[in-house]
Structure 1
Amino acid sequence: MHTPSVPDRRRWAGLVVISVAVSLIIVDSTIVNVAIPSIVADLDIDSTLVQWVQESYTLVFAALLLVFGSLADRYGRRRLLTIGVSVFVAASVLAAIAPTGDLLVAARILQGLGGAMVLPTTLSLVNATFTGRERGIAFAVWGSTIGGMVAVGPLLGGWLTTDFSWRWAFGINVPLGIAIVVGAFFTVRESRDTAHAGGIDVVGAVLSVLTSASLVFGLIEGRTYGWWTPAERFRVGGWAWPAGTSPIPFAFALTIVAGIAFVAWSRRRQRSGRSTLIALDLFRIGSFRNGSIAALIVSLGEFGIVLSLPLWLQNVLGYSALQTGFVLLALAIGSFVASGFAATAGQRIGPLPIVRIGIAAEIVGVAAIGFVVSADTPWWAVVPCLFVYGFGVGLATAQLTGVVLQDVPVERSGEASGAQSTARQIGSALGIAVLGTVLFTSTGGLVQQRLEDAGTPSGVASRVSDAVVTSSGGAIAGLRERDAATADVAATAFSDGTRAAAWSAAGFLVLGLAATLRLRRPDPTPDEQPTARSAASPA
């Protein structure tokens, strides 16, 4: 393992390469959202397949983060980074040329595989390459890139889809991926965990995948298939889930059983001195344990609102995909501005206060969105809110990661990075599930109630409500052509649902801010000491 003790300018060039690699996978997780209508029209896929196009990537991505974080430590972080990017690029080519929806879903699954190799690897490379104050600056760049790309994805996807084709939303990954692989060989030093190298815990890996995949599936699909009683029948190819039951309770039961088995198995292997996928003694480190809990809660509030805003901008305000991307660009600008602020202020006051300032800014920005949202809100009223929110994301994402890993031995940063990344992904999935449920449940109930109050027959009101919810607001445009009054009711209800989602997100962020109160600021040390301190940390 290489830990720099003298200035090395290549490390900063390597940070640029690492940040671009993060951008590649983060953009892809958001770029597809604005391309979905074009994909549906071109490939003629049904609503079930549409969901799998969007969610198969997230499902595989979250399930494998822990596995690949551990593999990176053992077999080389740069090696796994380049393999992951290569797999991701190959999958992007398959997605770009996919002639059917089924093949597109298969390509998205392969993209999730490659993405899961990249994210924890980039994080552990930053942790292993930089020390002291430089590590804080590097984490600020890494985290701000994630926050900014969440907003740049819809803008890039809107432009490519509008001016070219949805296929270019995947094709753009090819030149970027080639540049990353070449750049990594010249600027990123290889590092690995030589102290804990050993055989892979295959049983632990399988149990980890089962736990993560079943949990994320249940959180994402609960609203679609029914949290307890079946709302829609789950199908994979020609096979269908048994009628009369929902797969979601089974998924959560599998999560509990596999999770308990994973912990028991890992403790047994650890007591016998054998390698484990993640050493449970990492959770004895207070900063790692409490920081991971805070990261999960914060992610729940952060990424859930990104689901509802593009839908509201396009389906209620009538903006195009490209115009929506421009509005969301304010979030990216705020996030990039935050990186400069974090780099300077972090040296004076430390990373933990920066985290708290960032979460507080997110709360202000998201709550402000809730106040300004309406069926006739002008775009400029949303932009300042998004900027403040993005500024907070840029501060909190990077510095919270640094706080989580501050006491973790550098040689074990891959498994720790995979664990905290998995916590973030679970939080994101939970945010999408909870805030999506708030958005659509509120919208559907308000549409039906207000139409009935206006004298519309209950059956008609119910059909209109179902159409608005099922189309995620897309039916509002068609209603405007046939019945302007009904369309106004639907648009107002969707705006109210978006407001409820925004305020719910702010509430979760308040809980995340409260969770950081259990974190403690590290003692100040010279730049050279963190490496020694990490090496001496309990393992």
Structure 2
Amino acid sequence: MTGARRRWFGLVFISIAVALIIVDSTIVNVAIPSIIDDLGITSTQVQWVQESYTLVFAALLLVFGTLADRYGRRRILLTGVVIFAGASVLAALAQTGDLLIASRLVQGVGGAMVLPTTLSLINATFRGRDRGIAFAIWGSTIGGMVAVGPLLGGWLTTSYSWRWAFGINVPLGIIIVVGILLFVSESRDTGEPRRIDVVGAVLSVVTSATLVFGLIEGRTYGWWLTNTAPTLGDWTWPFDLSIIPVAFLITLVSGTLFIWWGLRRQRLGKSTLLAFSLFRIPSFRNGNIAALIVSLGEFGIILSLPLWLQNVLGYDALQTGFVLLALAIGSFVASGIAGAFGNKVSPLTIVRVGIAAEIVGVAGLGIMITVDATWLSIVPFLFVYGMGVGLATAQLTGVVLGDVPVEQSGQGSGTSSTARQIGSALGIAVLGTVLFTSVGLSLQAKLDELGVPTAASSQIVDAVVDSAGAAIPALSAPDSALGENSAAVAEAAKEAFSEGTRYSAFAAAGFLAVGLAATMRLTPRRVDDNDRPLVAAGQG
């Protein structure tokens, strides 16, 4: 097999590795109701089942991106896939909520080893216009898997068991390991080996972990004063001041120390976790800023839309997956478009067109989200949104890493991925707050109009918000305690949840518009067939 063909076969298995971790981050959403029924987990445990993976994943991306440069990108990728598959077995066999959460934490470690190494392997393996095509395939895989995850999860949960939503990772992991060993060559930093910056690694983990924790848990524990006191065993948070400002203070202090420590070691000629010199590259600096902002709105609507489809429109998990499949189709179509025009249009232009398509798709969803909506009114905008994700994600990654030296690609891709994950976490926190705050306020007002007593209306609002809408179907049940008001209350809850989902969509569109404006700080980068820059990227 020729070297060129081997590279493209290797890209297939690199993309499957990306698909593995992206699917797992979305597949759980549609399986949660079955997990609740089977394991009897609490609402707090439900939240951690979904969020523990993201927390560890974001905290360790930068560390493993650097370790991959030192010890070998393929080696770290394979190790990550094995850890991920092993943790998936533990998740599938979990008999309690705590064991499931612990398994998800370990999955986050494996996922953090996989994502940055796939990026750096592509950056090290492909050159010139082939690199743009490879990044397009990588990015479209991410966009498509965001939708395939709910579809796969819905099918496995409905036809078999929620446990297979995790068990499916084992055969996929075996396929990935075999393919990577056969078709992907090892690559690493060829310079003189230097000692790992352990202090920098610890500071980066603390910074990322506390920031993501604060962003995700702010609505639960209170952004300033304590709403719900966090507990750890027999210990309970004893202060009126919420733990969230404390977490953000730790983020600020540890982040400042991380930068100071890294610059100090760089001046002394010692190794650093992050090559701070990369931020002197305009395309890298400005591209990461744009990527973070775009991520604020890029996938947030996918978290609220399945809840609305199931709890308001009454779709089951599999039907919800089929509706979201439109996003995957749009993303794969975008892959073909990016490949066809990659040699004629600059990657930055494709990024801007993609973000614009995302704005149209998400805003259109916001307009169409009503109690009486049907899948026919939703699918076209999901398709447009998927096309935008497919166009923007990969090409923006290519712009960010385009001028990064190959020997620092692991550090560069780790930084890029971390920026995206932190942006996603911020988006989840903000859009989640918009969704549930809007639902609570709207439902309270509607219940007041219906004349529901204050005590009863507060219970109804808490039930709907705390269950993320899962309590809505029970409100209209024949044996509901609401009696003759049950139908009106259930309709009010559906309208309120639709309004919250709509406002969340419009907020996501706003973030994407800011992200589009941020790309104006970048300028097109053109290369010849040997990957030599013809025009410098990202000036300004």
**Secondary structure of 1:472's match?**
coil
Shift of 1:350: 1.2
Residue 534 (structure 2) pairs with residue 525 (structure 1):
no
Residues 144-163 of structure 1: pairs in structure 2 closer than 5 A: 144-163=140-159
Shift of 1:532: 12
Residue 417 (structure 2) pairs with residue 421 (structure 1):
yes
* Aligned counterparts of 1:150 and 1:354: Cα–Cα separation in 2: 21
Q: Letter of the aligned partner of 2:430 in structure 1?
A: V
Q: 2:166 aligns with which of 153, 166, 170?
A: 170
Give the structure 1 partner of residue 197 of structure 2: 201
Give the structure 2 partner of residue 411 of structure 1: 407
Instruction: Check the 8 A contact 2:527/2:535 in 1, yes or no.
Output: no
Residue 44 (structure 2) pairs with residue 42 (structure 1):
no
Q: 1:229 aligns with which of 201, 221, 225?
A: 225
* Aligned counterparts of 2:308 and 2:64: Cα–Cα separation in 1: 36
Q: Letter of the aligned partner of 2:149 in structure 1?
A: G
Give the structure 2 partner of residue 435 of structure 1: 431
Shift of 1:464: 1.1
What is the aligned length?
528
Residues 303-452 of structure 1: pairs in structure 2 closer than 5 A: 303-452=299-448
**Secondary structure of 2:529's match?**
coil
Shift of 1:198: 1.2
* Aligned counterparts of 1:329 and 1:96: Cα–Cα separation in 2: 25
**Secondary structure of 1:12's match?**
helix
Give the structure 2 partner of residue 498 of structure 1: 501
Q: Letter of the aligned partner of 2:520 in structure 1?
A: L
Give the structure 2 partner of residue 192 of structure 1: 188
Instruction: Check the 8 A contact 1:131/1:531 in 2, yes or no.
Output: no
Give the structure 1 partner of residue 265 of structure 2: 269
**Secondary structure of 1:45's match?**
coil
Residue 490 (structure 2) pairs with residue 484 (structure 1):
no
* Aligned counterparts of 1:270 and 1:114: Cα–Cα separation in 2: 29
RMSD between superposed Cα atoms in Å: 1.4
**Secondary structure of 2:99's match?**
helix
Give the structure 1 partner of residue 483 of structure 2: none
Shift of 1:401: 0.1
Instruction: Tell me the alpha carbon deviations over residues 292-315 of structure 1, each in whole angstroms, 9 at most, x when there is no partner.
Output: 010001111011111110000000
Q: Letter of the aligned partner of 1:213 in structure 2?
A: A
Give the structure 2 partner of residue 512 of structure 1: 515
**Secondary structure of 2:344's match?**
helix
Residue 294 (structure 2) pairs with residue 291 (structure 1):
no
With normalisation by structure 1, the TM-score equals 0.96
Give the structure 1 partner of residue 120 of structure 2: 124
Shift of 1:196: 6.0
Residues 85-164 of structure 1: pairs in structure 2 closer than 5 A: 85-164=81-160
Shift of 1:242: 2.1
* Aligned counterparts of 1:206 and 1:48: Cα–Cα separation in 2: 28
Q: 1:472 aligns with which of 464, 468, 471?
A: 468
* Aligned counterparts of 1:284 and 1:399: Cα–Cα separation in 2: 21
Q: Letter of the aligned partner of 2:425 in structure 1?
A: A
Instruction: Check the 8 A contact 1:410/1:531 in 2, yes or no.
Output: no
Q: Letter of the aligned partner of 1:526 in structure 2?
A: D
Q: 1:383/1:533 Cα in 2 relative to 1: closer, same or farther (>3 Å)?
A: closer
Give the structure 1 partner of residue 55 of structure 2: 59
Instruction: Tell me the alpha carbon deviations over residues 498-537 of structure 1, each in whole angstroms, 9 at most, x when there is no partner.
Output: 1100001000000000000000111x33211439999xxx
Shift of 1:197: 3.2
* Aligned counterparts of 1:400 and 1:163: Cα–Cα separation in 2: 38
Give the structure 2 partner of residue 251 of structure 1: 247
With normalisation by structure 2, the TM-score equals 0.96
**Secondary structure of 1:158's match?**
helix
Instruction: Check the 8 A contact 2:524/2:535 in 1, yes or no.
Output: no
* Aligned counterparts of 1:28 and 1:88: Cα–Cα separation in 2: 10
In structure 1, the gaps of 5 or more residues are 1-5, 535-539
Q: 1:321/1:529 Cα in 2 relative to 1: closer, same or farther (>3 Å)?
A: closer
**Secondary structure of 1:530's match?**
coil
**Secondary structure of 1:193's match?**
coil
Instruction: Check the 8 A contact 2:78/2:177 in 1, yes or no.
Output: yes
Instruction: Tell me the alpha carbon deviations over residues 329-352 of structure 1, each in whole angstroms, 9 at most, x when there is no partner.
Output: 000000000000001112101100
* Aligned counterparts of 1:517 and 1:484: Cα–Cα separation in 2: 51
Shift of 1:240: 2.4
Shift of 1:244: 2.6
* Aligned counterparts of 2:62 and 2:236: Cα–Cα separation in 1: 30
* Aligned counterparts of 1:395 and 1:79: Cα–Cα separation in 2: 30
Relative to structure 2, which stretch is displaced further, 231-240 or 364-373? 231-240
**Secondary structure of 1:198's match?**
coil
Identity %: 69
* Aligned counterparts of 2:387 and 2:286: Cα–Cα separation in 1: 23
Instruction: Tell me the alpha carbon deviations over residues 476-512 of structure 1, each in whole angstroms, 9 at most, x when there is no partner.
Output: 1000113011000010011011110000100000000
* Aligned counterparts of 2:337 and 2:210: Cα–Cα separation in 1: 39
Q: Letter of the aligned partner of 2:433 in structure 1?
A: T
* Aligned counterparts of 1:440 and 1:525: Cα–Cα separation in 2: 47
